[in-house]
Amino acid sequence: MKKRIMILFIAVIYLLKAQEYPPPTDLISVPTAGTLMRGSFSMDMRIQDEGGLIFGLSAGITDRFQFGMSFGSPNLIGDDSLDWYPRPEAKLKYLILDENLSMPAFAIGLNTQGLGDYWRQDTLQRYEIKALGLYGAMSKNWKSLLGNIGLHAGINHSFLETKDGDSDPNLFFGLDLEFNPEFSLLLEYNSALNENGMTARTMSISKGGYLNAAFRWSFVESLHLELHLNNLLFDDEKVDYFKRELKITYIEYF
């Protein structure tokens, strides 16, 4: 009997210990501390509301450093005059500290790609949902009976989008939960502390930050399909719905 209890105790400790492989590189719109492996690349396509599309390409230069670019349009599909984003955007990330049993992983990065419309007026010049800009992210992962559980948190500064009168630093948090090797639930909260200025408050469609959820289906090892339910805390005085989006990600090695 004692032997069985000891075996069960060891099994539980094994299941709850930190993972040996890195967490996902991104949740829905915020990053984790995970990076692409050396020699791998990812291509993704985010299908936004009103026919918007963002195409992204990232590559793992080393096991700690990844580099990427993205570009798109808020209305690529539709019958309005085509409107492109003002420039290609950059995505960089470097893993400083590896995760271990007691400490989370820590990475710093740059992401200048915002989401939604882009207001070009001289007084705004910002995305509907600001890009992260410079950020630091922490991630801690555990194994459960179902699969991986990851907790993530970070701070960012959108240094390129400050003409709306708000340049405050921002906080974000996230969770990824595997139900099995194919299906995962993603949750994240962007506190939108950099959208509380007078102009931003007039424009913002969130109410107390952006709460986003997603279901990720990895139906083959290198291809992921995600359904995003964004802005669940929407301001019902400005909009009467949350955003639905799709994201397709393909990961390969070269």
Query: Span 51-69, mean pLDDT?
Result: 95
- What's the whole-number average pLDDT of the chain? 86
Q: Cα–chain-centroid distance for residue 64?
A: 18
pTM for the full model?
A: 0.85
Spatial neighbors of 133 by CB under 8 A, at least 6 apart, are: 110, 111, 112, 156, 157, 158, 159, 160, 161
Q: By residue range, what is the domain housing residue 29?
A: 2-253
Q: Look at residue 9 in the predicted model and tell me its pLDDT.
A: 47
Q: What is the CATH number of the domain that holds 150?
A: 2.40.160.40
Counting every residue, how long is the chain?
254
Pairing verdict, β 40-47 and 89-97: unpaired
Domains in the chain, number: 1
Neighbours of 89 (CB within 10 A): 21
Q: Look at residue 21 in the predicted model and tell me its pLDDT.
A: 39
Q: Which amino acid appears at position 206 of this protein?
A: S
Output the CA torsion sign for 120, 122, 128, 130.
positive
pLDDT tens readout for residues 162-205: 888 888 899 999 999 999 888 999 999 999 998 876 555 566 66
What is the spatial distance between Cα 141 and Cα 105, in angstroms, rounded to a whole number? 9
